[in-house]
Structure 1
Amino acid sequence: MGPHGQRGTGYGPGQRGTMMGPHYRQTPGQSTTSLESWMSDVDNYTDIVDRTGRTQVAVAVGATGNGGNFAYDPPVIRVSPGTTVRWEWTGQGGTHDVAFVDGSRSSRLTATAGASFERRFGRIGTYLYYCTPHRTLGMKGAVVVE
């Protein structure tokens, strides 16, 4: 177990590894981006939060980070295949969405507190996502399915 009761990543203290090979889901036309480089400008990212073994996991949209309420919390989660992730809007930071880099199904833009978007992850891989209006501020996240 790592800090905060999380399963370790296999890297030493203060190190983050890349999620390449079988853990990284690349689609045609998408550059080969490691999880580390994708999250490099996300100020509330410190480590992958382990949520394996759960059937549903929640992620806050509009959480504190990146100079305001421009973050997902937790920004990176590890889940088991078949897990449903539910993004829940806080109503803070303006209009947000959940848009996947691979072009797969995304949420609509909304600023409404209590709004939600769900997606079930059935295949192993790393799914990168961002908020369309706040991507340049660092409002990005990832779901690692193992």
Structure 2
Amino acid sequence: MSDPTTTGRVRGRPATTRRRLLAAVGATAAAGVAGCTGANGDGDGGGGGAGGDAGTERYDGWLADASGYDGSVADRTGADEATVRVGAGDGFAYDPAAVRVSPGTTVTWEWTGAGSRHNVVDEDGGFQSPYYAAQGATFSREFSEPGVTKYYCTPHRTLGMVGVVEVVEE
């Protein structure tokens, strides 16, 4: 029979026991909860920004893990065109991640050339750009109807490369 003090261990490293694992999970959960509570005391947790809302709640959490997202919504209502940079920040973000436009506005995604090949895919299947990597490549779409379009980059979605176009009546 094997020695129970060494079974499953790497020489020189302590064995991971159920007790140690549960303690680590508990400490991590406690730290996470502590990070969610604020010292200011107003309790709303809203970040504000351009457009006046945190964005993550407004879009059903779609932008909660968006790369480079600061909680703001770029308000381009009244403009004929809006531009979203593809491969912004660390190369795996859309900038702005959330843009608000009027019906009839053309949104153009423009590639920065950073972060590899990217595309733009409507979550509901309404459109899909080709993959581009070259700086200056563009893909455009006119948004006619009020509503929210959630989109992502196929290979980098899990890295938080997601965005939103919100179309509102003025």
Q: Shorter-chain TM-score category? A: 0.7 to 0.9
Alignment of 1:1-146 (within 5 A): 3=49, 6-9=50-53, 15-16=54-55, 18-19=57-58, 35-45=59-69, 46-64=71-89, 68-146=90-168
Relative contact order higher in (CA < 8 Å, ≥ 6 apart)? 1
TM-score, normalising length from structure 2? Answer: 0.66
Determine helix, strand or coil for the equivalent of 2:116.
Answer: coil
Q: Which runs of 5+ in 1 are unaligned?
A: 10-14, 20-34
Aligned residues: 120
User: Partner letter of residue 80 of structure 1?
Assistant: S
Structure with the largest fraction of helix: 2
Q: After TM superposition, give the deviation of residue 135 of structure 1 in Å.
A: 0.2
The percent identity for this pair of structures is 48
2-structure distance, mates of 1:87, 1:140: 13
- Preserved CA contact (<8 Å) 2:55 2:63: no
Q: After TM superposition, give the deviation of residue 16 of structure 1 in Å.
A: 4.4
Change (3 A) 1:90 1:105: same
Determine helix, strand or coil for the equivalent of 2:164.
Answer: strand
- Preserved CA contact (<8 Å) 2:121 2:151: yes
Q: After TM superposition, give the deviation of residue 110 of structure 1 in Å.
A: 1.1
- Bigger Rg, structure 1 or 2: 2
